Amino acid sequence: MKDCIFCKIVKGEIPSVEIFQDKVAKVFLNINPASKGHLLIIPKEHFENILDCPDEILSHLIKISKKMAQLVKEKLGADAVNIANNSGKEAGQEVFHLHFHVVPRYKDDGMKLDFIGKKDLKDDLEEIRKIIIS
Ligand code: AMP
């Protein structure tokens, strides 16, 4: 993709602080880190998000994400890790080249990733189930 910033990173047209790469994937530090060691895992081939990415590539990316999570715990002393993906603008996706965030978490780092429950949706679970599985 001509104007995709992550494709340009893959091609070396713009710099990145690389951590790892293989034939399929690349890992680099987020330019605007939410915590020390915030990484992005991307496929070298352009996919917009999880939904248009073939399963084999997704499996590979999530395995690398796990390795990276282990690495930041081991090497940076992270206590925990968030692995996140935003698929679609309304979900907060800003760069439309699939990526997983690996966000190292440190005790008392003050960050809170909350999916706050909405009381008015609590009663609809059975109805929602019917719609989804129909
Ligand atoms: P998202 O909101 O999930 O699309 O996240 C996109 C992420 O890409 C943001 O956290 C940005 O800080 C990060 N980002 C954007 N441009 C670059 C870049 N050139 N190098 C590294 N990270 C970047």
Q: What is the DSSP letter of 54?
A: -
- Residue 91, pLDDT > 90, answer yes
CB–CB of 37/78 below 8 Å? yes
Band of pLDDT at residue 88, cut at 50, 70 and 90:
very high
pTM of the model: 0.96
pLDDT of residue 113: 87
Closest CA to 29 of 18, 21, 14: 18
Alpha-carbon separation of residue 93 from 90, 101, 111 (angstroms):
7, 11, 19
How many C-beta neighbours within 10 Å does residue 38 have?
A: 17
What's the number of domains the chain is made of? 1
pLDDT at 77: 98
Q: Is the pLDDT of residue 2 over 90?
A: no
Contact 72, 48 (CB under 8 A): no
Choice from 14, 31, 48 to test ligand 1 binding pocket (greatest atom count within 8 A of CB): 31
Residue 125 belongs to domain spanning: 5-133
Pocket of ligand 1 (CB under 6 A): 5, 16, 28, 30-32, 40, 86, 92-95
- Backbone φ/ψ region at 52: left (φ over 0), alpha (ψ -120 to 50), beta: alpha
CATH code, 83 = 3.30.428.10
Q: What is the pLDDT of residues 8-29, one digit of tens each?
A: 999 999 999 999 999 999 999 9
Question: Best of 30, 83, 96, 97 to mutate for ligand 1, by most ligand atoms within 8 A of CB?
Answer: 30
Q: How far apart, in whole angstroms, are the C-alpha atoms of residue 57 and residue 48? A: 13
Question: What spacing in Å lies between the alpha carbon of 98 and ligand 1's midpoint?
Answer: 11
Active site residue 99: yes
Predicted confidence (pLDDT) per residue in 33-60, tens digit: 999 999 999 999 999 999 999 999 999 9
